[in-house]
């Protein structure tokens, strides 16, 4: 059975087929006793746009739960971080072996990773359909 990751949020805007939810995201180290004085604590407000056919049942200010399949989260990490890192390292190693120019061996891998991200950007609509969020209204 697929595991679901969820996060609580608050509806900030509703439009046809789209609900914008603001979530207060705190890093995992927030449970540490010293987190109040720590400068490494990662806190941020994130806004997620959730496409839903049931957008009419949500109102501004509603408390909701945003859900996503955890395997999609792992795929997102793979696409955003792991594959570009592998491309970068492989390009540096291969180019340093086959070319005698350090400038080329340093600059070309960056160009390759930039092209990779441009390809991801080009297919953003297809990826956005794959990475869909669920939305449920919390009972208050």
Domains of the chain: which residue ranges? 4-137
Measuring CA to CA, which residue among 75, 63, 71, 60 is closest to residue 18?
60
Tens digits of residue pLDDT in 43-60:
677 888 888 888 889 999
Q: How many CA atoms lie within 13 A of 107 on its CB side?
A: 4
CB-CB contact of 73 with 5 (8 Å): yes
pLDDT at 137 over 60: yes
Is the full-model pTM beyond 0.85? no
Instruction: State the Cα–Cα distance between residues 113 and 90, nearest whole angstrom.
Output: 11
């Amino acid at each position: 059975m697929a595991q679901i990751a969820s996060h609580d949020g608050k509806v900030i805007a509703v439009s046809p087929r789209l609900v914008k939810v603001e979530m207060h995201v705190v890093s995992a180290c927030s449970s540490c006793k010293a987190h109040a004085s720590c400068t490494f604590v990662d806190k941020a407000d994130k806004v997620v746009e959730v496409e839903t056919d049931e957008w009419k049942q949500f109102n501004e200010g509603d408390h909701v739960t945003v859900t996503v399949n955890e395997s999609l989260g792992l795929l997102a990490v793979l696409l955003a971080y792991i594959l570009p890192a592998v491309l970068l390292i492989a390009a540096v190693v291969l180019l340093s072996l086959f070319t005698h120019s350090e400038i080329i061996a340093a600059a070309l891998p960056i160009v390759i990773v930039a092209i990779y991200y441009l390809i991801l950007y080009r297919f953003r609509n297809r990826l956005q359909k794959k990475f869909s969020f669920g939305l449920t209204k919390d009972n208050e």
